[in-house]
């Protein structure tokens, strides 16, 4: 079954991506992705929340807001789609994720296109 792992990171994590700590930061992610191997079916790291734009349509009119939807301490930093036998296996992989140590990892079953 496919699961989405959504990585929520702190401002310090986002800063580490481009600071002197970038090699250490990205090395942890490369090791994690390497361990997952062929279980990864998609995903991407995301740019800083400062680059986000939020769109809503109300009364037929588009509303655009600079910044992320939620103004929280931890922001969406990226996601992966993985194949896992069950939720327990997906949770095990989430716990091994670098983001789990300082932020959070949300795990959700992907909706099968057969369900649509």
pLDDT in tens, 37-86: 999 999 999 999 989 999 999 999 999 999 888 778 899 999 999 999 99
Distance CA 16, CA 106 (A): 21
Judge whether 63 lies within some domain: no
User: What proportion of the chain, given as a percentage, has pLDDT over 70?
Assistant: 98
Distance CA 23, CA 75 (A): 21
Judge whether 85 lies within some domain: yes
Confidence at 113, pLDDT banded by 50, 70, 90: confident
Report the pLDDT averaged over residues 91-114. 95
Q: Count how many domains the chain has.
A: 1
Judge whether 68 lies within some domain: no
Does the structure show a pLDDT above 90 at 21? no
65: enclosing H helix or E strand: strand 61-66
7: enclosing H helix or E strand: strand 2-9
Q: What is the CATH number of the domain that holds 83?
A: 3.30.70.1060
């Amino acid at each position: 079954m496919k699961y989405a792992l959504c990585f929520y990171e702190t401002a310090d994590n986002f800063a580490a991506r481009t600071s002197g700590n970038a090699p250490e930061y990205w090395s942890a992610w490369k090791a994690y992705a390497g361990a997952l191997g062929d279980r990864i079916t998609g995903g991407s790291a995301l740019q800083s929340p400062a680059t986000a734009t939020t769109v809503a349509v109300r009364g037929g009119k588009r509303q655009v807001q600079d910044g992320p939807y939620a103004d929280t301490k931890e922001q969406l930093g990226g996601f992966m789609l993985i194949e896992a036998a069950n939720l327990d296996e997906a949770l095990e992989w989430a716990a091994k994720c670098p983001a789990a140590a300082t932020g959070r990892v949300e795990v959700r079953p992907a909706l099968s296109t057969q369900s649509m």
